Amino acid sequence: MHRILVLDDIAQEGIDILEAEANIEYEVRTGLSGEALRSALNEFDGAILRSGVKITAESLEGNTRMRALVRAGVGTDNIDKAASTRRGIVVMNTPAGNTVSTAEHAFALMLALSRNIPAASQSLVEGRWDRKKFMGKQVAGKTLGIVGMGRIGREIASRAIAFEMNVIAFDPFLTDEQAAAIGVNRVATVDEMLPQIDYLTVHTPLTPETKGLIGHAQLEKVKPGLRVVNAARGGIYDINALVEGLNSGKLGGVALDVYEKEPCTDNPLFGMPNVVCTPHLGASTEEAQTQVAVEGIHLLIKYLKTGEIRHSVNVASLDPKTLEELRGYLNVAHRIGLLAAQWHGGGIDQVSITYRGEIASKDTRVVNNALCAGLLERIVDDANIVNSEMLVRERGIELSEEKRHEKGAFSSSITVKVSGGGRTVTAGGAVLGQNMPRLIMLDGYRLESFLDGKLLVFAHNDVPGIIGRVGTIFGSHGVNIAQMAVGREGNAPGGPSIGVLSLDGEVPAEALAEIESIDAVTRVKTIDLPAVGEMPSWLS
């Protein structure tokens, strides 16, 4: 049974899906914050929210249960993604469900500013028939500047063009060809558009680059009477600069849907002439809310039930086809990570992963995570496919990845090299058949060994009789050897070799001591791996 927490008001259509879905339990608890939020999050496997809840690192403190947070909407700035990743929580959003509604709202704000609609309406219902005071401006023939030409920015552009406006756009990822296809003029900087535009609307996320994007310095450069709209995020415009701009006449109007701190009921712009404000209504249409709730609930259920990851903002996506293709490699990567950590046995400061063959052409970020989960599993409680690479890097371990497209003896293989404390070990793995993980290389020696259950690895000099002696020791302690693999340098006997035994039972300490005492044995270690077919919870 998966438990889902609904933290914000979402459309009934989303709730209906939860109601009908087998093996899903849900609760709606809105308005949570602080300790109540923290303890609630630890009772559920997944949660869905809008912009009304703030998930901070403190909200996730001590959380051992939550696996996925879904934003029914676009902006995930109310979720601490680094903290979520560290806890192994996937954060997903529904990027396109509210695009049109938000573009329509931003456009409505622009028209409302141009024609003084809110103030005129207010004046009339208060008993005044004042036509002269509310002389407006036509948008046709005017120039609109759009900062941020993503989904919403592009919808705004097409609407503005339909309203016979000229559009100038700035977005670092917009090419001249794309701009021409959309019918807008691209500029290389925001400053370049400022003296040319009559209206400005921003459609970027709030980032260190966009925070305070339009402030006092920018307003120095604008055409007097510029009307500005913000239906993206509070903080992109500097509010004090807007107040000053309105007072000085530099600005002809300001329309806001979003605020630095929400809910916002107190703002220096409220009540000023030529200001139109709405309480974060961009996505508040029946259509958008139905879409984001239905899509968000599906994302959550899919992830919890199948491991499929779509629209994640903190980890690589994993669609069902890729998940099926990669499942065997995720399993082998996890196992060679576990083996390398135990065979190394000490502190690690460098990890390099090499993908060879067909797997080299796949998105291997998730496989890196699986391998790192194996490396960390014995020292970190909650290493999983979401957080492990981050946890490895956070420990100051240098992680590198190399891809070689040519095939070796196997269609695909994964090799890890782990170094630290003056010791380096390497382990290579491959998948036989559908899902039979195999160890194919250890410390540079080619061999072929099982990669499950209890293993005994012994480095030794390849002298006659050694295998027999190791076998006899296990026999005398009643431990059955299920499989044995030996790898050595080249074909010549006598040199360094490595042996891997797959055992049917625990290794008694005395047996280990006896093997260690064999002259030719240079190092011996037992390795614990999951049993055949046993998968970590994040892969099963």
Ligand X SMILES: O=C(O)C(=O)COP(=O)(O)O
Ligand Y SMILES: NC(=O)C1=CN([C@@H]2O[C@H](COP(=O)(O)OP(=O)(O)OC[C@H]3O[C@@H](n4cnc5c(N)ncnc54)[C@H](O)[C@@H]3O)[C@@H](O)[C@H]2O)C=CC1
Task: Check binding of 75 to ligand X (CB under 6 A).
Answer: yes
- Which range, of 73-81, 108-116, 217-225, 419-427, touches ligand X by CB under 6 A? 73-81
C-beta of 286 vs 325, nearer to ligand X: 286
Region of residue 212 (left: phi > 0; alpha: psi -120 to 50; beta: else): left
Is the distance from CB of 130 to CB of 107 less than 8 angstroms? no
Q: Report 264-283 residues binding ligand X (CB under 6 A).
A: 280, 282-283
Burial class of 283 by CB neighbour count within 10 A (0 to 12, 13 to 18, 19+): buried
CA distance 53 to 58: 13
Q: Comparing C-alpha atoms, which of 278, 287, 312 is closest to residue 95?
A: 312
Point out the residue whose Cβ comes nearest to ligand Y: 150
Report in angstroms how near the CB of residue 229 gets to ligand Y at its nearest: 10
Give CA torsion, residues 319, 322, 325, 326, to 10 deg: -100
CA distance 253 to 215: 15
Q: CA 168, 173, 174 angle in degrees (round to 5)?
A: 35
Task: Check binding of 152 to ligand Y (CB under 6 A).
Answer: yes
Mark 209-228 with x for binding to ligand Y (rule: CB under 6 A) and - for no binding: xx------------------
Q: Comparing C-alpha atoms, which of 203, 240, 200 is closest to residue 221?
A: 200
Number of residues that bind ligand X (CB under 6 A): 11
Report in angstroms how near the CB of residue 257 gets to ligand Y at its nearest: 5
Q: Residues with Cβ < 8 Å from 321, sequence gap 6 or more? A: none
C-beta of 106 vs 455, nearer to ligand X: 106
From candidates 8, 45, 238, 257, binder to ligand Y by CB under 6 A? 257
Region of residue 493 (left: phi > 0; alpha: psi -120 to 50; beta: else): beta
Report in angstroms how near the CB of residue 76 gets to ligand Y at its nearest: 9
- Token reading at 344: 């190394």
From candidates 123, 196, 278, 284, binder to ligand X by CB under 6 A? 284
Q: Report 23-82 residues binding ligand Y (CB under 6 A).
A: 73-75
Task: Check binding of 170 to ligand Y (CB under 6 A).
Answer: yes
Fill in the amino acid letter for 47: A
Report in angstroms how near the CB of residue 353 gets to ligand Y at its nearest: 30
C-beta of 203 vs 335, nearer to ligand X: 203
Bridge partners of 429? 414, 439
Is the distance from CB of 313 to CB of 81 less than 8 angstroms? yes
Bridge partners of 420? 423
Task: Check binding of 171 to ligand Y (CB under 6 A).
Answer: yes
From candidates 102, 289, 312, 388, binder to ligand Y by CB under 6 A? 102
Region of residue 47 (left: phi > 0; alpha: psi -120 to 50; beta: else): beta
CA distance 392 to 525: 24
- Look up 233 and say whether it is catalytic: yes
DSSP 8-state assignment for residue 232: S
Catalytic residue from among 71, 233, 327, 438 = 233
Report in angstroms how near the CB of residue 52 gets to ligand Y at its nearest: 12
Report in angstroms how near the CB of residue 235 gets to ligand X at its nearest: 13
Fill in the amino acid letter for 226: L
Q: Residues with Cβ < 8 Å from 510, sequence gap 6 or more? A: 477
C-beta of 50 vs 87, nearer to ligand X: 50
CA terminus-to-terminus distance, the chain? 15
Mark 226-245 with x for binding to ligand Y (rule: CB under 6 A) and - for no binding: -----xxx------------
Task: Check binding of 435 to ligand X (CB under 6 A).
Answer: no
In three-state secondary structure terms, 228 is strand
84 binds, among ligand Y, ligand X, none (CB under 5 to 8 A by kind): none
Task: Check binding of 73 to ligand X (CB under 6 A).
Answer: yes
50 binds, among ligand Y, ligand X, none (CB under 5 to 8 A by kind): ligand X
Rounded to a whole number of angstroms, the CA Rg of the chain reads 31
Report in angstroms how near the CB of residue 166 gets to ligand Y at its nearest: 19
- Which range, of 71-79, 130-138, 141-149, 476-484, touches ligand X by CB under 6 A? 71-79
Catalytic residue from among 2, 38, 203, 280 = 280
The DSSP H or E segment spanning 394 is helix 388-394
Report in angstroms how near the CB of residue 252 gets to ligand X at its nearest: 26
Task: Check binding of 74 to ligand X (CB under 6 A).
Answer: yes
The DSSP H or E segment spanning 155 is helix 151-162
Report in angstroms how near the CB of residue 77 gets to ligand X at its nearest: 8
User: Is the bond leading into 263 cis (omega within 30 degrees of zero)?
Assistant: yes
CA distance 340 to 342: 5
C-beta of 148 vs 252, nearer to ligand X: 148
From candidates 11, 283, 338, 383, binder to ligand Y by CB under 6 A? 283
Helix%, strand%, coil% for the chain, nearest 5: 35, 25, 40
List helix spans (H) across 412-503.
466-476
Q: Report 82-121 residues binding ligand X (CB under 6 A).
A: 98
Task: Check binding of 51 to ligand X (CB under 6 A).
Answer: yes
C-beta of 232 vs 414, nearer to ligand Y: 232
Task: Check binding of 147 to ligand Y (CB under 6 A).
Answer: yes
C-beta of 95 vs 453, nearer to ligand Y: 95
Provide the annotated active-site residues.
Answer: 233, 262, 280
Residue numbers at the binding site for ligand X (CB under 6 A): 50-52, 73-75, 98, 280, 282-284
Residue numbers at the binding site for ligand Y (CB under 6 A): 73-75, 95, 98-99, 102, 147-153, 170-173, 203-205, 207, 209-210, 231-233, 257-258, 280, 282-283
